[in-house]
Structure 1
C-alpha cells in the first residue's frame, strides 16, 4: 500500500487556513486545499503496515489503505469507489469526523499518522467535480415502504441503503431543511450547507422522498408510522444538558445549540426573531468540546468583546497520555481553528452562580477552581479549592454541555422501551426495538456520539430492516475486524 518508502520520504502535510483576521469576517469554509501532487505524496505515506489498525479505529470499517494506495497511484475514481463502498457521505466525515482512524494509524506510533481524513475529503470532492457521483436508483422495487424519522447522518445513511434495496423510503424531518444537526448545529464555516444540498439532490434523484416540517409525535401522529412496513427512528440525542446552578434562569444564559442554530439560519436569510448575539458582549462558553469550540468561532464572528471558555475537567496533555496508549483514542489537548481565532481557555473551573441584575439580565459569573479526587473503586469526587473564588464579567453565557439523550415523545406514544440512560432500547447489531417493525439507530439508540458512528449504525440498521422485510439482504455489513462482507 502506498509507496514502500513513502512514510520515510514525506512528512505529513495538512491543509492550511486563511488568516484569522480574514476568515472571522465571514461564515464560509476557509481551508486552503493541498495540491494534487502533495495529496499523492500524502497517500504514499500509507506504510504497508501488514495489519492496518485504522480499520478497527473507524466504525465504518473504511478500506483506508486501499483508497490511500489509489491516491498514490493517481487512480482517483477507483479511490472514490472504494471510499463509497463503506461510507455513504465521506464529504461529511472528511470535514467533521475527529478521525479515530488516524489515532490508530500504525505510523502514528513513531511519527505523525497518515492524513486519512483530508485524503478522504479530497477524494469525494474530486469525485463530485468529475461527475463520478451520480444517482443510482434501484432497478426494481420490492413494494415495501419504510419511514425514516430524522434526516441526520444516521437517517440519511439508512434511507440510502434501504432505497438501494428497492424499498420505497420516506424521510421525515421536523425542521424546515434536511440534514439534522449537520444543517443547523454545525456552523457554516465548518461545513457549507451546499455540501448537504448536493448530496440530498442525489438521494432525491434515487427516489427517496423527504418531508420537512414534520415533527413526528407533535404535528404528525406517531401512530401513522404503523402505515409503513418498516420504521427506523434516527431522531438523535437532542435533550440538552443544563446546569442546576443558581441564576441559570437569567436572561443571557443560552443553550449553545440555540445560539448556533439561529446564526446559521440568519446566514441563509431565514427570519429569526430575537436572535441571541455576542456582539460587544463578554461571552463565556461553558463546555470544552466541539460545540463549545463552535460557539467560540461564532462569537468572534459576531464581534464579541471577549470570549472565555470554561472546562470542569483537567487540561489534557499536549501529547498522547500514557493512560490512553496507541491504538486507543488519546487523551490529548485539542486546539481547533476557532480556538486559534481568540479565546481564553480555563480548565478545572466550576460555575457557582449566574449573577443577574434587578431586571434579570446576566451580568457576571461566579466560579471556583476545582480538583478531582480519585478513589480506587469509586467515582471521582469533585473538590473545590478554597480561596479560588472569582467573579467574571459576563453578558452571554453559552451552555455547551452536550446532550442527555433522545426526546421521549415517540417512545411514549408508541410504547417503545428505553434503557437506563433514556436511549431507545435496541441491541447493537440488531437495532430492533420491542416493536418488531420499528428499528432505531445513531444517537437515539447509543446516546451522543460521533458522526461516523451515526452513519455506521444507519447502514447496519438498514440491513437489519431489509432482512426483517425480505428474509435476507444483499446490503453490506462489516464484521468485528472491519472487513466488508455480505452475509
Structure 2
C-alpha cells in the first residue's frame, strides 16, 4: 500500500459511460476509458485493510463474495498507483487468464467484499483490472508464449466459453496438445453470442483467441460433439477430454399461451442479433427484431438487461422488464451485511438507456406472468400479470403470494424469456453415459472435476450450473490442473 490516506483523499470513480441517448444508436462499447491519473488515484484508494477479503472468493448466503480466481487485487492496485503498469499486469495474469473478460463483463463480487465498502464506496477494482490488461495489449506486453517442450499428450476441450478457454490455456502452458471444439461458427461461447457487443465487443474475445492460437492451441468450429463428432471417437483420439459445454438449456415458462408466436428465449434473441451483427451489420435480417414493437422482457437479471439494451437499439415502441422480486432499497438491508454481495437497487446500463428513451426505469417489480394471449393469427398480443408479495411463514419457508385486485393486461408483440437456465443440454451427456446430479449437471466433485468416465473431466456451468464468468475461469483452471495430474502423475499447475 503506497498511500495510507488515499481512501480518505479520493472518491470512487469508475469508467465513464457514453451518453445513453448517443450510444443507443450504435453497438460500440458503452463505456469510455478512465484517465490514467484517475486510475492511479483509484489504486491509491486500496487501503491497508490487514485481511483483504476482495480476493477470497466464496459463497455466502447463496451469493458470491470476493473473487473466485483469487486475484491479487491489493498488489496490482498498489502497482498502478506506483505507475508500475507492467508489473501490475504480471500480477494480474498470475491468477486470471483473461482479465479482459472479467474486466468487461463480471459483476465484480470483489467490490462487494472490499473492506472499504463497509462504510464508503468500494475501490473501483473492475475498472482498474480492465485498464491494466488494456494497457498491456496497447503496449505490446501481451505476447504469445508457446511452451518450450511438448509432453506428447493430447486433450480435447469441449466448449470455448471462459471455462473451456481457461482450461485450454493452462493445459497448453504445460505442454499438452490441446484442441478446443465449438459448435458455433465463432470461438467464445456465451462470451461471443451471449453477451452483446456494447458490453463485451467480439474484438476483445478474438484478440485473446488469436494469442492462444499462436501459442499452439487448435480451434475447431461448427462441430458439435455428440452430433457432428461422436463422443466415443473423441475418447479414442485424445488422451483426455474436458467438458466445458456450459448450461445452455433455458428455464421454461409452462403457462397458458406459451406456444404463441413472438415468444422467444433470451439467448435465442441475443445470439441471433450478435451473429447477424458480426456477419452483416444486421443487413442480412437474420435476427429477431424488436423494431416498432411493444416488448416485454421476463426476468430481472443481467441477461434480461442485455435484452433491454438490445431492444432499445432496435427501436422498440415500448419496453417493460418484469422482475419477480420487490424493488430493492438504495442501501444494504440488515439481512444483507458486508461482505455479502450488496443486494441494492441499481440502474444497469440497459435500464439507463431505456430510461433515456422512455423516461423511466423499464422494470416492473414484484410482478408474475400468469398467461399469454394471442391474436387470430396465433401471435402473442397480451401478457397477463398479477403482483406478488414475498411471505415467510412460521417455519421460515419463503413463498410468493398473489395480491388480489392487482391483475393487469399488457399489450405486446415480442416477449423475451430471461429467467435463467436449468442445466446443460443432454445429447452429449447421454451419448457418453456420463452421470449427472439432481440438477442435470455433469456429476464431478469440485477441486477434482473427474466424471464417472475414465479420463473425462467437467468444469464451468456444465458442472456447477449457471454462474459467473469468473467462476468458469476458476473451474477451467482447476480442471486443467486435475487433467494434467491424470496425464502426468503430478502437476505444477495451481
TM-score bucket of the superposed structures, by smaller chain: over 0.9
Query: What's 1:329 paired with?
Result: 341
Q: Give the alignment partner of residue 315 of structure 1, picking from 305, 323, 327.
A: 327
Residue 66 (structure 1) aligns with = 75
Tell me the distance in 2 between the aligned counterparts of 1:136 and 1:18: 36
Shift of residue 273 of structure 1? 6.2
Residue 436 of structure 1: CA displacement? 2.3
Q: Deviations over 1:202-226 (max 9, x none)?
A: 0000000000001000111111121
Q: Which residue of 1 aligns with 2:260?
A: 250
Distance in 2 between residues matched to 1:414 and 1:253, nearest whole Å:
33
Shift of 1:372: 1.9
Q: Is 1:410–2:428 an aligned residue pair?
A: yes
Aligned position for 2:373: 355
Q: CA deviation at 1:365?
A: 0.7
Deviates further, 82-91 or 371-380: 371-380
Out of 290, 294, 315, which is 2:306 matched to?
294
Matched with 2:46 is: 46
CA distance in 1, matches of 2:394, 2:27: 47
Of 267, 271, 278, the match for 2:277 = 267
Contact between 1:241 and 1:402, CA under 8 Å: does it hold in 2? yes
Distance change >3 Å, CA 74–CA 274, structure 1 → 2: closer
2:115 counterpart of 1:106: yes
Structure 2 residue aligned with 1:400 = 418
Residue in 2 that maps onto 1:277: 289
**Which SS does the other structure have where 2:95 is aligned?**
coil
For 1:362-373, what aligned pairs fall within 5 Å after superposition? 362-373=380-391
Kindly report which structure 2 residues correspond to 1:71-470, keeping only aligned pairs within 5 A, or say none.
71-226=80-235, 227-270=237-280, 275-342=287-354, 343-377=361-395, 379-470=397-488
Unpaired runs of 5+ residues, structure 2, are: 57-65, 355-360
Closer, same or farther in 2 for the Cα pair 1:137/1:123, shift >3 Å? same
For 1:38 and 1:267, the matched residues in 2 are separated by 34
| 4+ residue runs over 4 A deviation | 270-274
- Alpha-carbon distance in 2 for matches of 1:6, 1:313: 38
- Write out per-residue CA displacement over residues 337-386 of structure 1, whole angstroms, 9 at most, x where no aligned residue: 11011152111111111110111011111111111221244542221111
- Cα shift at 1:164: 0.4
Q: Residue 368 of structure 1: SS of its match in structure 2? A: strand
Distance between the aligned counterparts of 1:429 and 1:174, measured in 2?
Answer: 27
Judge which range, 171-180 or 266-275, deviates more: 266-275
CA distance in 2, matches of 1:175, 1:90: 24
d(CA) in 1 for partners of 2:404, 2:284: 44
Residue 272 of structure 1: CA displacement?
6.0
Alignment RMSD (CA, Å): 1.1
Superposed displacement of residue 15, structure 1: 1.6
Distance 2:287 2:6 in 1: 51
Alpha-carbon displacement from aligned partner over 1:40-67 (angstroms, at most 9, x marks no partner): 0000001011111111111000000000
Q: Is contact 1:14–1:34 with CA below 8 Å preserved after alignment?
A: yes
C-alpha separation in 1, matches of 2:434 and 2:279: 39
Give me the whole-angstrom Cα distance separating, in 2, the residues matched to 1:243 and 1:274: 25
The question of whether the paired residues in 1 share the 8 Å contact of 2:290 and 2:315 is answered with yes
8 Å contact kept, 2:276–2:286:
no
TM-score normalized by the length of structure 1 = 0.96
How far apart in 2 are the matches of 1:240 and 1:290?
Answer: 14
Whole-angstrom distance in 2 between the partners of 1:296 and 1:442: 26
- Structure 1 residue runs without a partner (length 5+): 477-487
**1:119 partner SS:** helix
Task: Give the structure 2 partner of residue 22 of structure 1.
Answer: 22
CA contact (8 A) 2:372 2:384 kept: yes
Q: How many residues align?
A: 476
Q: In structure 2, the residue corresponding to 1:455 is in which secondary structure?
A: helix
1:119/1:468 CA distance change after superposition, 3 Å: same
1:9 aligns with 2:21: no
Shift of 1:316: 1.8
Shift of 1:334: 2.5
Give the distance between the partners of 1:4 and 1:273, measured in 2 at CA. 56
CA deviations 1:91-150 (Å, max 9, x no partner) are: 000011111111110000110110000000000000000000011111100000000000
Q: How many Å separate the matches in 2 of 1:280 and 1:411?
A: 41
CA contact (8 A) 1:265 1:272 kept: no
Could you tell me how far apart the structure 2 residues matched to 1:376 and 1:52 are? 38
Contact 2:272 2:286 in 1 (8 A): no
